[in-house]
Structure 1
Amino acid sequence: MIGSRRRSRSTTNVWPGYVDALSALLMLVIFMLLIYVVSQLFLSQTLSDRNSELARLNQRLTEISQLLGLEQSKTDALEQQILTVQSNFSDSQSENKNLQDRLEASRNQLMQQTADAEARAETLANMNQELDNKDELSVSQQNMILQLSNQIASLQNQLRQITAALKLQKEMTADKDGELENVSRRLNTLLAERVNQLEQYQSEFFSRLRNILAANENIRVVGDRFLLPSELLFASGSAQLGDEGKRELDKLAGVLLEVVKTIPADLDWILRIDGHTDLIPINTLQFPSNWELSTARAVAVVRYLSNQGVPQNRMVAAGFGEFFPVAEGVTQGALQKNRRIEIKLTDR
């Protein structure tokens, strides 16, 4: 009886513990459900805000494209206006030179005729002095004096006309110089705006590519360039792309093609691929020097990106050999840093 009572009492006391455990478990489940619901709400709000921001950016890109089209039309008109102004300016300079030559010739002629007139006047004065005792001059002498007076008056009139024409020409030249300076200033402003636009697309390309390639610790960023180690793309002494290098270039091509869609067609951009080696010389039948090796590697990257859809006329390959190191010394670390492919989005 005593054992039966103990078993009955023990069985009866277990249930409150079960109830407490189930209550705690139920509260934990409810708490987790609340956290899940709150996180889902926050995630939905974040995605909604991001979609709104993307829509706003797309609208802004459309507006920029339209503005670029208008600016291109204005640029064409300004260039045509500059050509016209330059042509008119050249004509004005030629006409100005002709007027100056005519003025100089007229001055020389006037000086010569004035000297002749003075000589003749002196001669008439002498004749007048000799004829003081006579009451009147001869008819021929009176005609000669009248003719000389008319010639002097005519030359003075021509000199005044040439001086006025020269003054007018100088004023026209000054106006055209001012107009040419104004057009040049507007073109410089437009060029600066185009440079700023290219810098915006460079920044976008740089940001996206850095986020994608950030997982690879071997890829370095120096200024506005991406530095890919040669070992990532090629085997030692080879210009043949490896599988790992192709995968990294696939990421690069994907980012570039997305950015290219937003760049206006009239913006003159290029993707520059530079090949660099270390200072250890190479001398093989295929690569007589580091110049050939670095150039061949840059060309291999360009060809691969072209096969992925990147426009060929928007890429350039260059080989610099060992002459532009980024690390000094002959340690293995320095040599490895100098063996690289540099990628940069810039203007032509």
Structure 2
Amino acid sequence: MALRRRGGQRSIDYWPGFVDALSTLLMAIMFLLTVFVLGQFILSREITGKDEVLDRLNSQINELTQLLALEKGSKQDVEDSLANIQAQLADAESEKSRLQQLLDQGAGSSATANKRIGELSGELDAQKQISEQALNQVELLNQQIAALRSQIAAVEQALQLSETRDKNSQAKIADLGRRLNVALAQRVQELNRYRSDFFGRLREILSDRENIRIVGDRFVFQSEVLFPSGGPDLNPAGQEEMGKLATALIELTKEIPAEIDWVLRVDGHTDNVPLTGSGRYRDNWELSSARATSVVKFLISKGVPANRLVAAGFGEFQPIAEGDTPEARSQNRRIELKLTEK
């Protein structure tokens, strides 16, 4: 008899004093949050990669499970066929025994009985061969199922390891956030303390000057105090005032810890009267930048470290007084000093 085998297809689918403190806090928060976001981005990329590995491992588990189910189905089919063959083999043995008994009793034709016994013997031999093939196939299927189970166990172990690493990464992110918050608070407190000391000293030195005032977290010098009209070079009065500033900065430099990366920003501003373009400077951008640079270079000549100074020119585009009156324009022509972080 022919052995029928049923198979299946396998598919593989391969995050004034009050103003001073607030601005400092905001800048420190922005800096440290940038570091925090960068750390989160790097760790998120690592976690994303692990998620892809987890998805791939889950997909492999599903595929192996499907293959295991198919193999189990094939094994059951072979076992059913084997049982059927064994039943037919038993029937043939029984028929052969019956015919042999009849032959021994002398009933019927001896030739016919012998012929029938020969046919049954042949069928029995064929059935035995088929039975042996079925048993071999069952053994092969058992081996394949064992191999699939081993693969599934290995994939599940890798999945558990990946999940453990993912939990460790999440713990690292939480710890990084806590440390950044602590560093943020410490940095804000330290910078606020030294900035308060610096501005306190400048208030003592410059408090009797009418054309020097405090606006938020900045010291503001009117340009008329420091420069001649339309020029970038410090006049004698301006050199005297900047000399006092240099002394205070040098003392402060000795006290601030090296890990606080501070700078004094010197901002140049002009009024909104355009330059003719025929003089030394073509426009207010160049004049404001030149005045800020002049102040920075003077401070460096007095011993202030160059890496702690920044010069910037804003032209007429950051006014502190609105309007075109002489008073408003005079207030807008200014040099501003701001102690901040890089």
The TM-score, its normalising length taken from structure 1, stands at: 0.68
The CA distance in 1 between the partners of 2:203 and 2:336, in whole Å, is 14
* Structure with larger RCO (C-alpha < 8 A, sep 6+): 2
Q: CA deviation at 1:108?
A: 2.4
In the alignment, is residue 314 of structure 1 matched against residue 308 of structure 2?
yes
Classify 1:202/1:110 alpha carbon distance in 2 versus 1 (closer, same or farther; 3 Å). same
Aligned to 2:289: 295
What is the DSSP-based 3-state SS (H/G/I as helix, E as strand, rest coil) of the residue aligned with 2:171?
A: helix
Q: Counterpart of 2:230 in structure 1: which amino acid? A: G
Mapped pair 1:179 → 2:172:
yes
Selected match of 1:108 from 30, 52, 63:
63
Q: Count matched residues.
A: 264
In structure 2, give the amino acid aligned to 1:177: Q
Shift of 1:96: 7.1
Supply the AA of the counterpart residue of 1:108. E
The alpha carbon displacement at 1:345 in A equals 1.0
Partner deviation per Cα, 1:180-227 (whole Å, 9 max, x = no partner): 421342133123312320111100000110111011111111011011
Displacement of 1:177 after TM fit? 2.0
Counterpart-to-counterpart distance in 1, 2:194 and 2:71: 78
Indicate yes or no: 2:241 matched with 1:261. Answer: no
Residue 127 of structure 1, CA deviation: 6.0
Partner SS, residue 309 of structure 1? coil
CA contact (8 A) 1:107 1:159 kept: no
The aligned amino acid for 1:313 is N
What amino acid is aligned across from residue 155 of structure 1 in structure 2?
L
2:329 counterpart of 1:335 = yes
Stretches of structure 2 that go unaligned for 5 or more consecutive residues are 1-34, 91-126
Deviations 1:113-171 (CA, angstroms, capped at 9, x unpaired): 64255246436535644653322862221121122123213312321332133123202
Counterpart-to-counterpart distance in 1, 2:171 and 2:50: 19
Alignment check: 8 A CA contact 1:241 1:300 kept: yes
User: Residues of 2 paired with 1:96 and 1:162: CA distance?
Assistant: 15
DSSP 3-state at the match of 2:89: coil
Letter of the 2:190 partner, please give it. Answer: Q
Pick from 221, 228, 232: which aligns with 2:225?
232
Counterpart residue number, 1:220: 213
Name which of 274, 278, 282 aligns with 1:284: 278
Q: In the aligned structure 1, how far is the partner of 2:71 from the partner of 2:161?
A: 32
| Preserved CA contact (<8 Å) 1:234 1:245 | yes
Higher deviation after alignment, 237-246 or 146-155: 146-155
Q: Deviations over 1:267-319 (max 9, x none)?
A: 10101000000000012342100000000000000111111111111100000
Q: Separation in 1 of the partners of 2:309 and 2:291?
A: 14
Q: For residues 141 and 154 of structure 1, what CA distance do their matches in structure 2 show?
A: 20
- Secondary structure of the 1:132 match is helix
Per-residue Cα deviation, 1:223-261 (whole angstroms, up to 9, x for no partner): 110110000011111111111111111111111112222
State the Cα distance separating 1:320 from its structure 2 match: 0.2
1:243 corresponding residue in structure 2: 236
Q: Distance in 1 between matches of 2:267 and 2:162?
A: 55
Distance change >3 Å, CA 338–CA 96, structure 1 → 2: closer
The aligned amino acid for 2:281 is F
1:139 aligns with 132
Question: Is 1:271 equivalent to 2:264 in the alignment?
Answer: yes
Contact kept in structure 2, 1:99 and 1:162, CA below 8 Å: no
Alignment deviations for residues 60-95 of structure 1 (CA, whole Å, 9 cap, x no partner)? xxxxxxxxxxxxxxxxxxx9xx99xx79x94x8767
Report if aligned partners of 1:276, 1:321 keep a CA contact under 8 Å in 2: yes
Q: For the structure 1 residues 182 and 324, does the alpha-carbon distance in structure 2 shift closer, same or farther, using more than 3 Å as the test?
A: same
- Structure 1 distance, partners of 2:169, 2:159, is 15
